[in-house]
A = this chain, B = another copy of it.
Amino acid sequence: MAKPLSNEDIEQRRDELVAAALTILEVDGITGLTLRRLAEGTGVSRQTPYLYFKDKAALVDAMCVAGIRQLTASSSQAVLEASAKGPIEQLRMAGETYVRFGLQNPNLYALIFNPAKINAKPSDAMAEAVAENNAVSRSLMQRAWDEGRISMEPERLNNVFWAALHGLISLRHDGLICDDETFFQVLADLEQTLAVGFLNDG
């Protein structure tokens, strides 16, 4: 092994490292995710990950992209499976998928939405992955909009939904909504409020 790595090889190694890193993250949390440990775990030496990622930030970015893409795939499938039920119900399924992803991958979710990069823009790759993910729900909203079911432009309503669900999940992860019961109560209340509002009059 001393000839230049093919692009396929490089990509495969990167994927392997990302997969191993995601496992570490899942098991031991963000503090357990260390480059040395990742190297050990994959049976290589300390510095080897640097052959495939510029630095730890680049690895984390790749992990985030992988996570977002996984979410996008799940959402797409859920939307597809509910295609008979119309865009509004499909939206609900997409939201449910999003919430489930957040609950089942707390460490990864937190990594995606806060790779310790306060005030730093996400990378191009991550921005693209996020855009692809948003496209899933936005296309549903577009259909609902075309059918006259919703009262706000898709792009705008998508941001509203995203903020609401993201906030809920974040509060959960931060320990500010501790029990499941409260969480799903708030989720239901959020759905209702977003749907029909909280004001009694007009």
A167 (CB) vs chain B CBs: closest residue: B167
A175 (CB) vs chain B CBs: closest residue: B121
Encode contact with B along A171-202: 1 for CB under 8 Å, 0 otherwise. 10111111000100110011011111111111
Q: If A163-B186, A193-B157 touch, does A120 touch B175 (CB 8 Å cutoff)?
A: yes
Chain B residues contacting A202 (CB-CB under 8 Å) are 196
Each complex incorporates copies of this chain amounting to: 2
Q: If A118-B29, A122-B175 touch, does A185 touch B156 (CB 8 Å cutoff)?
A: yes
Q: Is the CB of B194 within 8 A of A150?
A: no
CB distance from A164 to the nearest CB of B (A): 5
Mark A residues whose CB is within 8 Å of B.
29-31, 88, 106-107, 110, 113-114, 116-122, 130, 148-152, 156-157, 159-160, 162-168, 170-171, 173-178, 182, 185-186, 189-190, 192-202
